[in-house]
Structure 1
Amino acid sequence: MMSVQVTLSPVDEAGPVAERILRTLPAWFGIEEATLEYIRDAHANPTFVADDGGEAVGFLTLVVHTAYAAEIHVMGVLPSYHRQGVGRQMVAVAEAYLRRQGIAYLQVKTLNDTHPDEGYARTRQFYLAMGFRPLEVFPDLWGPHNPCLQLIKAL
């Protein structure tokens, strides 16, 4: 497993990092208006950046919904760093940050397994391995062709 430095990004730096990484992941982030929203959201919410020798190789943006619950709103890792532990490290740092704030639950939304996309199958496997558990499926939240699966984890 590769070790990277994961830190909370200054707000003014998070958007450009998010944009650079999201643009390398068109299979997951191919809808332009959604990508632009994720970039804007990185500016307005806590965003953690994984750094490898001065290069940002991953990011994770949280949205805190209530005093008790937060969400991994968007996460991306450069393709050449996939399956090397970068995502695990970012989630671990984000979870520690949320625990310090008294947050009890962390959720994430992704495509449900009724959608055949192999990339999202790996995404679901990742979150399950990180201790998240399926909570609910929202068949029309993202439209009828993109069933949303909500996963949750107690912190």
Structure 2
Amino acid sequence: MIEQIFDKDAKRTIARKVLEALREWFEVDESREQYIRESADQIFIAAKENDEYVGFLCLKETGNATVELAVMGVLKEYHRSGIGRQLFEKAKAIAVENDYSFMQVKTVQMGKYEDYDKTNMFYISCGFKEFEVFPTLWDEDNPCQIYVMSLS
């Protein structure tokens, strides 16, 4: 079941549970804590299986016409089960309902790390298009790939 969560404490609790279980992608403690903290004030969509939250996605406004898929995570045992796609589709519908024209997402450039290549392929399969790479936005070992999509 996919649902939008409004309670700030629930958002932080769900984000913490999922992100701490995905340390391969969220290994930097201060970054992970920032995602958890900021999730409370963002559009928050969660996936529930067997009365337990197993994934979430947050959207944040980055411009008056643009929303960013700020953070997303699905517990590893639920990867490739369609939950990520369901979270994304719900997020996209909410973005359209809120009159955003574009959605963007930032990740590590394709070809750097196998785990992130899977993430890149997921975003491309959702309809995102390559926009620009910022080689040193994060650091030289993690060139930032920005993907965008039109919502109209």
- For normalisation by structure 1, the TM-score amounts to 0.94
Higher strand fraction (1 or 2) = 2
2:24 alignment partner AA: A
Matched, 1:121 2:86: no
CA contact (8 A) 1:7 1:48 kept: yes
Give, in whole Å, the separation in 1 of the partners of 2:19 and 2:56.
9
Q: Structure 2: which 5+ residue stretches go unaligned? A: none
Q: Structure 1: which 5+ residue stretches go unaligned? A: none
Mapping 1:80-95, distance limit 5 Å: 80-95=77-92
Give, in whole Å, the separation in 2 of the partners of 1:136 and 1:114.
15
2:79 alignment partner AA: H
Moved beyond 6 Å, runs of 4+: none
RMSD: 0.8
For residue 137 of structure 1, the aligned residue among 133, 139, 142 is 133
- Report percent identity of matched pairs: 35
In the TM superposition, what is the alpha-carbon distance from 1:78 to its structure 2 partner?
0.4
Q: How many residue pairs align between the two structures?
A: 150
For residue 67 of structure 2, the aligned residue among 36, 53, 70 is 70
CA contact (8 A) 2:44 2:58 kept: yes
Give, in whole Å, the separation in 1 of the partners of 2:138 and 2:111.
14
In the TM superposition, what is the alpha-carbon distance from 1:114 to its structure 2 partner?
4.2
Give, in whole Å, the separation in 2 of the partners of 1:33 and 1:67.
28
2:67 alignment partner AA: A
Mapping 1:6-155, distance limit 5 Å: 6-10=2-6, 11-115=8-112, 117-155=113-151
Offset from partner CA, 1:33-70 (integer Å, 9 cap, x none): 00000000111111111111211010001111222100
2:5 alignment partner AA: S
In the TM superposition, what is the alpha-carbon distance from 1:12 to its structure 2 partner?
2.3
CA contact (8 A) 1:132 1:153 kept: yes
- For normalisation by structure 2, the TM-score amounts to 0.96
Offset from partner CA, 1:99-155 (integer Å, 9 cap, x none): 01100100000000241x111000000000000000000001101111000000111
